Amino acid sequence: MPASPAPAAPTGPQKISTRSAGIVALAVMCSRVLGLARELILAKLFGAGFAMDAFVAAFRVPNLLRDLFAEGALSTAFVTTFSKTIKNEGDQSAWALANKVATLAVVVLSLITLLGAFFAPQLIGVLAGGFSPEKRELTVHLTRIMFPFILLVSLAALAMGLLNARDVFGVPAMASSFFNLGSILGGVGLAWWIDPHFGPKSLTGLALGTLLGGALQLVVQFPALRKVGYRFRPDLVWRDPGVRSVLRLMGPAVIAASAVQVNVMVNGRFASELAGDGPVSWLGYAFRLMQLPLGMFGVAIGTLTLPLISRSAAAGNMEEFRSTLSRGMRLAFLLTIPSSVGLIALARPIISLLYEHGKFSAESTVQTAAALQLYALGLAAYSGIKVLAPAFYALDKRNTPMLVSFAAIGVNLGLNWLFTFRLGMQHRGLALSTGCVAMANFLALYVLMRRHTRFLETWLMLRTLAKLAVAAVPLALVCWGSEMTLLAGWAHLPFVLKLTYLLGTIAVAAASFFGVAMALGIDGLEEVSALFRRKLGRLLKR
C-alpha cells in the first residue's frame, strides 16, 4: 500500500493539454529517433538480406505479442479500469487492483514465454514459411532468445498505464528510449564480441541486447511509480470485479488493438514467399521510419486522450467525452497529414541519406523508399486509430473494435493477394494493402463511434480536413520540386550537403504548410504554435 496518498485525480472539465502533448511528443520523438538510430546502425552493419531478414522475422514474433498483451490490450484495458476505479472507489482500491493485475501478468506471461520458446519452430514455420532451411533455423534460434522480451515489455506497459492514469506522461514516454539505448549499446557490443565482422552468428548478441533494453524500459519507471505512491505487493487473489473488468476488456482488445501488427505479420509471411533476400528487411526499415511521426503525434495524443475520456465516461459526461475525443483526432490529423505528404514526396532522399551506408545498397534504397511511400498513405489513419479505438473501451463497447479488426485482417489478406501476386507489385503491394486497411479501419470505427455518441463534431472534422488538404498543396509542391532537383546529382554529393539540402527542404515545406494553415485558421494550430514558440524561446535563452 502507498506510504502517502497520491494527489486526487482531477474532477473538473477535461481538456487535452497542449503542453502535456508537447512533453509526450518530445519524449516519444526521442525514443523514435533512437529507434531510428538503431535501425541505421543495423542497416550499416548487416545491410538488407539474409541476416537481417532472419532478425526482423524473429523479433516480429515477441513484438506482435507485445502489441497483443502489452501496449495494445493490457495497457488500454488497465488504464480504462484503473481510471474508473480511482473515480468511483478511491486510491486504495486502485492500488490493490494494480497489484492483482501485475501479479497475474507475471504468472501468465511467464507461461507464454516458456510455451513460445518451446514452439518457436512451429511459429516461424507459420509466419516465415518461405525462408530457406538455413534462414529458418537462424530465425528460430533468435526467436527463442528474444521471447522473454514480451514479459519485460508487458510489465513496462503496465507501469506506463498506471502512471498515465495518474497524469504522469513524460517518464513512461521516455522509458522506451532506454529500450533503444540498451539494445544499441548492449546489442551491438555483444554482437561485436561474438563476431567482429558482424556475420550471422553475431545476431545472437543483438537478440540479447533486445532483452537488456526491455529490462531497462521497465526499471527506469520504478522511481516514478514510487513517487505517485505505488508499492508492488504480490496478490494472487484474482476473483475481483476490477480484475474481471480488465480481462473482459482485454479479450476483444487483444484482437482490436493489434490489427496493424497482425497485418504486418501477415505481410511478413507474404514477403517471405517472395524471391530473393531483402523484401522482409525493406518492409521493416520502411515501417520503422513511418513510425517516427506516428509515435511523436498519434501515440502521444492517444496516450493523453485515454485517461481523460475514461474519466468523462465514468462521470457520465458525454458532452465532454465527445469534445475531448474529437479534438484529439483533429490534433492528430493536423500533425500527421503534413508528415505523410513529406514522406511520400521525399522518400528516396530520406532513405538514401539515412540508410545507404556500409552494406546497405542503392537498390535497397529504391525498394525501401517505394515501401515507405505506400505505407505513408495510411499514416494519418494510423494516428486516428490510436486516438479513436481506445475510446470504445471507455464506453464499454469492447466488441466493436474487435469486429472491425476481424474485418480489417480479412481485407488485408485479400488485398495482399491482389496487389502482390495478382497485380505483381511484390513487396510494394504489401505496403499498399497496409495503408488501405488502416484507412478503412479508421473510417469504420469513426462511423460506429458517431452512432454510439450520436454526435462527434463531424462537420468540424470535415472542415479541418478540407483546410489541411489545401495547406498540404504548397508543402507537396516544395517537396516534389526539391526532390526532382536533389536526385539529379544526389549520388555525387557529400553527406553534409545532402543533409543540408534535405533539412532546408523540410524547413521550407513546413513553413509553407503552417503559413497557409494559420491563414486558414485551422483548429488547434494556435496552441501548437504557442508551444513551439515557448520551446524555442527556452532554447535561445540557454
Q: What is the DSSP string of 454-493?
A: S---HHHHHHHHHHHHHHHHHHHHHHHHHHHHHHHSGGGS
Average predicted confidence (pLDDT) for the chain: 80
Give me the pLDDT at residue 525, please.
65
- The answer to whether residue 454 scores a pLDDT higher than 60 is yes
Mean pLDDT of the region 334-357: 89
- The answer to whether residue 8 scores a pLDDT higher than 50 is no
- The answer to whether residue 71 scores a pLDDT higher than 80 is no
Residue 374 vs residue 277, higher pLDDT: 374
- The answer to whether residue 21 scores a pLDDT higher than 70 is no
Side-chain-facing half-sphere of 7: CA atoms under 13 Å: 9
Residues in the chain, total: 542
- The answer to whether residue 30 scores a pLDDT higher than 60 is yes
Burial class (CB in 10 A: 0-12, 13-18, 19+), 133: exposed
Which tens digit of pLDDT belongs to each residue from 181-196?
Answer: 888 888 888 988 988 8
Give me the pLDDT at residue 280, please.
78
pLDDT category at 10 given cuts 50, 70, 90 is very low
Torsion sign over Cα 355, 361, 365, 370: negative
Give me the pLDDT at residue 257, please.
56
Give the C-alpha separation, 59 to 153, whole Å.
13
pLDDT category at 478 given cuts 50, 70, 90 is very high
In 3-state terms, what secondary structure has residue 395? coil
Cell of residue 171, nine digits: 517518464
Mean pLDDT of the region 42-70: 75
Side-chain-facing half-sphere of 455: CA atoms under 13 Å: 8
Give me the pLDDT at residue 20, please.
59
Looking at mean pLDDT, say which of 391-400, 498-507, 520-529 comes out highest: 498-507
Helices (H) and strands (E) in the chain, counts: 24, 0
Which tens digit of pLDDT belongs to each residue from 212-265?
Answer: 998 999 999 999 998 888 888 888 888 888 888 888 777 666 666 556 566 667
Give me the pLDDT at residue 95, please.
87
Residue 177 vs residue 536, higher pLDDT: 177
Give the C-alpha separation, 153 to 65, whole Å.
10
Give the C-alpha separation, 528 to 336, whole Å.
13
Q: Pick the closest to residue 219 from 167, 185, 186, 171 (CA basis).
A: 171
Give me the pLDDT at residue 536, please.
40
- The answer to whether residue 325 scores a pLDDT higher than 70 is yes
Residue 530 vs residue 467, higher pLDDT: 467
Residue 414 vs residue 16, higher pLDDT: 414
- The answer to whether residue 486 scores a pLDDT higher than 80 is no
**Least confident segment among 57-61, 101-105, 253-257, 310-314:** 253-257
Mean pLDDT of the region 301-308: 75
- Mutual angle of helices 259-272 and 120-127, in 10-degree steps: 80
- The answer to whether residue 395 scores a pLDDT higher than 60 is yes
- The answer to whether residue 24 scores a pLDDT higher than 50 is yes
Q: Pick the closest to residue 153 from 72, 263, 254 (CA basis).
A: 72
Looking at mean pLDDT, say which of 118-127, 273-282, 320-329, 339-348 comes out highest: 339-348
Mean pLDDT of the region 305-319: 80
Give me the pLDDT at residue 473, please.
93
Mean pLDDT of the region 332-353: 90
In 3-state terms, what secondary structure has residue 220? coil
Give the C-alpha separation, 430 to 424, whole Å.
11
**Least confident segment among 6-15, 107-116, 354-363:** 6-15
* Percent of the chain whose pLDDT exceeds 70: 83
Residue 129 vs residue 42, higher pLDDT: 42
Mean pLDDT of the region 259-284: 72
Beta strands in 344-469 (DSSP E): none
pLDDT category at 70 given cuts 50, 70, 90 is low
* Residue 353 near residue 501, CB atoms below 8 Å: no
Give the C-alpha separation, 525 to 428, whole Å.
34
- The answer to whether residue 540 scores a pLDDT higher than 60 is no
Mean pLDDT of the region 457-481: 90
